Homo-oligomer: A and B are copies of this chain.
Amino acid sequence: MQICKTIAELKKKIKEIKNEGKTVGFVPTMGYLHEGHLSLMRQARKENDFVIISIFVNPTQFEPNEDLATYPRDLQRDVELAKSVGVELIFAPEAEEIYPENYKTIVEVIDLSQSLCGVTRPGHFKGVCTVVTKLFNIVQPDRAYFGQKDAQQVIIIRQMVKDLHIPVEVIAGPIVREADGLAMSSRNKYLKSEERQAALVLFKALTIAREAIQTGERRAELIEQIIIQMIAKEPSVIIDYVSVVSGVTLEKISHLEGQVLIALAVFIGKTRLIDNIMLEVA
């Protein structure tokens, strides 16, 4: 497996791969890989001739008050994990390589970026869209894989790719959970033992909501209330948002029908966690 630190090095390698007529699957990550990332890499491995991942803690998607400095990093561990699932190339640039001095261009998906996580993180998706556009142009993958845990991100990137006609197929992989239901996240590392325990309420609340829908509940506000009341049982868990929205447009809905996204974000101590379920409601 090869590790590229510079764009020039990476582009040279990609040219070779393309010249051999190989298809490229790409998994962009911020590193500190977990089973959620690895499941995307395994899928990429199955569907493409060559698999590239990026490990880049993208500064522009962090708000000024967020955890950019402390975001967990362990390249050596990531390299071993990526190798174990058949990744052929890791692109692991420094920040200056992606954002050189006098960098001035931004890519933004309006409307979709201001709701849900965009309220607390107003610049987040602009940072995501900009770095993903750059990475797509550098890597020129045939397929790119994103985790459904970041449901809003998946919808925004699909919209961006469609709007800008970026020639890449965007594929979302399902949320991977710990045995007790906690959605895998690099930020779970921040949780102290009792916080980790409290965090289980997120999936419990989403599960109860799902059950309510399965038994016929269609009122979005009531679903939100079920979740809020469940989370309230854990006083250390502070709700950022709980939203029932269209799984296509991210618009608020009052009546559940079609593709529905139930998404939430909370703070536990300083740690912000997100989770969601996507349902097809008849």
Contact = CB atoms under 8 A, between A and B. Distances in A.
Interface of A: 7, 102-112, 129-130, 133-134, 137-138, 140, 159-160, 163-167, 249
Q: Which 6 A-B pairs give the minimum distances between C-beta atoms?
A: A105-B163, A137-B165, A138-B165, A105-B160, A104-B109, A105-B109
Chain B CB count within 10 A is highest, among A105, A134, A249, for: A105
A194 B102 CA distance: 44
Contact of A166 (B102, B103, B137, B249): B137
Total identical chains: 2
Contacts of A137: 164-167
Contacts of A249: 102
Contacts of A163: 103-105, 134
Contacts of A103: 163
Contacts of A104: 109-112, 159, 163
A106 B159 CA distance: 11
9 contacts: A7-B165, A104-B111, A105-B108, A105-B159, A106-B110, A107-B107, A107-B108, A107-B133, A134-B165
A133 B7 contact: no
A164 B134 contact: yes
Contacts of A102: 249
Contacts of A159: 104-105
A7 B103 CA distance: 31
